[in-house]
Chains A and B, each alone.
Chain A
């Protein structure tokens, strides 16, 4: 019961907050949140951890290695798919060429 409530709440919040559109494998359009924070890796290399958060119900077609063109942000490949169990899924992204 609490799980269902949490899923409904997450879904409602993401529908309001999602700010980016992306094209999956040159075909399907996805709508979600794009984030690209910077951090230091290996005590010496600055990297960015790009990710795209969307409703789990809308990412059935996403596969590892899928091509994701995030509008205004560039082209990526899907490196990892991480459902959080509350209705949201985070796609971990790596840079690709458009």
Chain B
């Protein structure tokens, strides 16, 4: 396994099992959809790895990885005998804080020099039988691998 994949494996481990997921799943490297039976989910997808030579001999590569973490949430009906509904932003917010905290607190994988969440969250909404919302976090990771086999250096 390359150090590139190790990053998202560590991320998936850090996010799996959060109580705020309400039993939902954490997908890595998939274009999977949140089924009707689930109200929360997370998708981790690498956007890109961009590298530069890290030493004169060209034996190490310094990478910058951009990883998208999509938090998916479905609003729900709130009160019996009422039409009050949880809106999409409130629904995804239940997942935002624990997911953000889990990423910030995750153990740093070998070879990683810097790992930080960009202060930018992209929201999208849609109206159907429930209001649904996605909030996409941008994780930037700077790490070093060997040039020969992409293992953590």
Interface residues of A (CB under 8 A from B): 36, 38-50, 65-67, 75-79, 92-98
Contacts and interface: CB of A to CB of B under 8 A. Distances in A.
Summarize B's interface: helix, strand, loop or mixed. Answer: strand
A41 B82 contact: no
Contact of A97 (B36, B41, B79): B79
22 contacts: A40-B33, A42-B72, A44-B32, A44-B41, A45-B41, A45-B126, A45-B132, A46-B35, A47-B36, A47-B74, A47-B126, A47-B129, A50-B129, A79-B127, A92-B127, A94-B129, A95-B129, A96-B77, A96-B82, A97-B79, A97-B81, A97-B82
Contacts of B79: 97
Contacts of A49: 128-129
A46 B129 contact: no
B83 A77 contact: yes
B132 A96 contact: no
Given A77-B85, A96-B83, A98-B80, A42 B124 contact: yes
B128 A47 contact: yes
A39 B126 CA distance: 11
Interface string B59-89: 0000000000010101011111111010000
Contacts of A42: 72, 124-126, 132-134
B83 A45 contact: no
> Which of B79, B81, B133 is most buried by chain A, counting CB atoms within 10 A of its CB?
B81
A77 B127 CA distance: 13
Contact of B34 (A38, A45, A75, A78): A45
A80 B47 CA distance: 37
Contacts of A96: 77, 82-83, 85
Given A49-B129, A50-B129, A65 B83 contact: yes
Shortest Cβ-Cβ A-B pairs, 4 listed: A77-B83, A47-B128, A41-B126, A45-B34
Given A44-B72, A45-B74, A48-B129, A38 B36 contact: yes
A94 B74 CA distance: 12
B28 interface: no
B131 interface: yes
